[in-house]
Structure 1
C-alpha cells in the first residue's frame, strides 16, 4: 500500500512538472528576411529570405528545419584584378537545427547549431574568365539570437567549404597565361529578423 501511494505521489509530481515545463505551444513557424555578408576579394553582401518550421521538444529545447535563400556576391581567396567583377549568385539551403533557450519567459536568448545542404548557383568572374559551375555542398552553422514574444532576431555563421576552380593567371615575367588554382569563398554570415506564427504560451 505504501509503495502504491509513493508511486502515485511521484506520478502526480511528474505530471505537475511536465505541465509546468510545457508552457509554450509545441509548433511554430518562423519567417522573415535579413542581410547576408559574404567574404573574400570582390565579395559583397545582399538580402536573404527564410522560412523555419520548428517543434519544441521542451520549452528550453527546439528543433527545426531552415529553408533559406541568400543573394550575395561570393569573393575569391586571391586578389581580384582591378578590371574584373563578380556576379551575384544565390545560395539556397535546406538544413536542420536545434537551439537551447537560456531563459524560460519574456526576453529569451538562445544558442544553437544547424547543418545541412547548401545549393550554390554558378558564378563567373567578369573580365578574368574564371567560373564555377552550380554545385551542392554540406555545411554547418552555429547561431545565437533571441525571441521576444513573436519577434525573432538571430545571427547564423554559415560555414561552407570553398569551391576550387582551375583557371589562368597572367605571368608578367613569362609574358603569358599560366594555369592557376582559384578558390571562391562560400561561407557567409546571416543576420535574420522575423516573426513566429504559433509557438506562444498555452
Structure 2
C-alpha cells in the first residue's frame, strides 16, 4: 500500500513539474488560401487554445473564408459567384515532438455557415436557353483534419474542411418557373495557412 501511494505521489509530482514547463493559454491568428472544388479564395482564422499538456491542445477555431466554388448542374460544371463561409468548431491538436521544431496533427468538429451563391446555366438543345439559380445560405455540421508544424511562435498548417454539399432549384429567365434540374454545390474546401501563436511557449 505504501508503494502504491508513493507511486501516485511520484506521478502527481511529474505532472506538476511538466505543467510548470509551459504556458497553457495561447491564441493562434492565421491567414491563408481557401481552395474549394474548382475555385479559390482567401481565409482568416482566430483560434484560442488551452494546453492540457505540452503536447496536447484543445481550442475553438473561428474562421471566415471568401471564395468562389463550382456548381454542378445535371452533371455539368458551371462557375458560381463568390460567397462567404464561416465556421465555429472545437479543435484538438497533438504535437509529435517536444523539440523546437514541432510537427502536429489535429481534428475538429462543429458548425459551418455556407453562404448563398448565384449562377447561370445554359441548357442543352438547339435554343440553349439559359437558366438562373441560387443556392441558399445555411448552417451545417462538418469536420476538419489538419497537419502542420510549429517552430517558436510561427505556425504553418494545411487543413481540409469536410462539409456536406448543398442542393438547389433552377428557374427559367422569368424567375418564377422551376426547371426540373439537379443542382449541387460542393462546400468542402482545403486551407493553407500561415500564422503565429500569441502566448504559450516555455516558461
TM over 0.5: yes
Q: CA offsets per residue over residues 99-137 of structure 1, 9 Å max, x none?
A: 111111211111111011111111000464121111111
SS of the residue corresponding to residue 167 of structure 1 reads strand
The answer to whether the 8 Å contact 2:169/2:179 transfers is: no
- Other structure's SS at 1:14 match: helix
Count of residue pairs the alignment pairs up: 186
What is residue 189 of structure 1 aligned with on the other side?
190
Counterparts of 1:138 and 1:12 in 2: how far apart (Å)? 43
Other structure's SS at 1:75 match: strand
C-alpha displacement of 1:15? 3.8
Q: Secondary structure at the match of 2:7?
A: helix
Unmatched segments (≥5 aa) in structure 1: 170-176
For 2:29 and 2:179, locate their aligned partners in 1 and report how far apart those are by CA, in whole Å: 48
Match of 1:106 in 2: 100
Q: Structure 1 or 2: larger strand share?
A: 2
1:48 correspondence with 2:51: no
Change over 3 Å in CA distance of 1:126–1:168 after alignment to 2: closer
| TM-score normalised to structure 1 length | 0.84
Q: Alignment RMSD, CA only?
A: 2.0
Instruction: Determine the structure 1 residue equivalent to 2:170.
Output: 167
Deviation string, structure 1 residues 62-108 (Cα, Å, up to 9, x no partner): 10000000111121233235xxx421001100000111111112111
Q: Compute the TM-score of the two structures, normalised by the length of structure 2.
A: 0.84
Corresponding residue of 2:127: none
Using the TM superposition, give the Cα deviation of residue 8 of structure 1 relative to its aligned residue in structure 2, in angstroms.
6.3
CA contact (8 A) 2:136 2:168 kept: no
